Amino acid sequence: MSFSLEDIRELLLKENLLKEFVSDQGWHLTAPTNFSFENISYDSRQVDESTLFFCKGLNFKEAYLQSAVSQGLAYYVAEQPYEVSAVGIIVTDIRKAMAILAMAFYDYPQQKLQVIGYTGTKGKTTAAYFTKAILDHTTNNKTALLSTMNTTLDGQTYFKSHLTTPESLDLYRMMAEAVTNGMTHLVMEVSSQAYKTQRVYGLTLDVGIFLNISPDHISPIEHPTFDDYFYCKRQLILNSKTVVLNHESDYFKLLKETADLYHIPAIVYGRSPETTYQVTSLAGSGHPFTLTSNQGHLPIEAEYDILLAGGFNQENAASAIIAAALTGASIEDAQTGLKAARVPGRMDQLVQHNGAHVYVDYAHNYLSLKTLLEFAKSEHPKGRVIVVLGSPGNKAISRRHDFGSVLSETADVVFLTADDPAFEDPQKIADEIAEAITNEALLIHYEMDRPTAIEQALAASTAEDSVVIAGKGVDPYQKINGEDVLYEGDYAIVKRLIEDKQL
């Protein structure tokens, strides 16, 4: 893959992103030569003389560019010129420029895939896995996945994701690899940060799904306000050919108004008769539900069953059925796929020897934790809800207060512990959660060693209790002081303790 300096000039001018070319020949709007690039990179350690280098990021230092030039770099893209021998392609917005140039460099792979994108405060990963499980039957396993936990570009081999939505350069490289691997569909999670930082600038989704919204990721380094967070989330609607909306979401009317204003076809699902497709829970073994049509035309009216408990997961499944049907899936594909679909770290259930149920879930914000604890209380009304919980360091600071509020409303016992503390002291984070707890009857324990906290929670339970291990799921790492430290994973720890220590 390659493209020329003149190609770059035309692409940037078309998007009104080009300021000027800066070289030893002066400042001009014409390219100084007709050089062709064989590589593109934003990592100064991965450059050579044929690489186009992007100077991007809040932590970018001129020293990175100087290091790249010393390795032979001849051209860079930046928002300002630097005193180096390389030619500068100066742009008004480095992130938008990187997105536009990356998709062109990789020959617009999104046009060779059916792209389904999910956003929302909770449920993105579950709904994405549900959708892939359905489309695997439709496409004969030719569906790629970009999710918070794992990524697959060949439909079968998974690796750990570093970001919910990759940087634009990585995103289009991954898409191109998926195309090379013969994939026909891509299911991806689209974070609010992806829109705020222009990682998906210029990307149009074939189907965009807006699951729900509640405050999250509010911090000085993410979104300064809920308004900013919600606005960034809503950009998915404007960048989708068809949008699927959850009628049960907060601010649903604004979501629907947004779609209508920009003439984006919208399909609404939920439990209300006002929806296009209505979800109704059924009694019986498993977790069956029906999807019925009030005014829709997709052939998806049927009975479905899923492995995961909770009405909220039935709604996630409904969104997946609609999205998959819009991109070619049949009722049989949906029924078969959903019946066997598993989601790593989502609503994994185990039973202790004393009869207490344990729920391991990735719940990591206000809405997901509240939904999970309310489910545990409804399933085990005679017992206590015992929770193991932490909050990440150096991001989403608002979650700490939110967790204190949820615990006050729905928990009986909590073991506060570490959860990706990064560069912060996990005890300090735990203290901030505790400061927001207003229920004086809530019993609070502190144990910063997470496996020990889990063991203590299991040991404290009785037959009628439910134990909720929230936050990590099957994540095999803890982020500590800038490193990914190997971690057994919540589910593996619970399983081991039940089997080895007979808890």
196 is in an annotated binding site: no
Strand locations in 253-402 (E): 266-270, 277-281, 287-293, 302-306, 348-351, 357-361, 385-389
165 is in an annotated binding site: yes
121 is in an annotated binding site: yes
191 is in an annotated binding site: yes
CA distance 253 to 272: 14
Encoded tokens for 453: 């906290």
Nearest Cα residue to 363 out of 333, 308, 396, 403: 403
3-state secondary structure of 28: strand
Do residues 378 and 394 make contact, with C-beta atoms less than 8 angstroms apart?
A: no
Cα torsion 215, 218, 222, 226 to 10°: value is 50
CA distance 369 to 407: 9
Helix and strand totals (H; E) in the chain = 15, 27
CA distance 404 to 389: 10
If one counts every other C-beta atom within 10 angstroms of the C-beta of residue 237, the result is 22
Dump the DSSP string for 239-284.
TEEEEEEETTSTTHHHHHHHHHHTT--EEEEESSTTSSEEEEE--S
- Token pair 């009104």 is found at 16
44 is in an annotated binding site: yes
Most distant pair of Cα atoms in the chain: their distance: 79
3-state secondary structure of 212: coil
Do residues 27 and 20 make contact, with C-beta atoms less than 8 angstroms apart?
A: yes
Name the phi and psi angles at 290, rounded to 5: -115, 155
36 is in an annotated binding site: no
199 is in an annotated binding site: yes
CA distance 22 to 190: 35
Amino acid at 345: G
Encoded tokens for 503: 């808890």
Known binding positions for ATP? 120-126
Known binding positions? 44, 120-126, 164-165, 191, 199
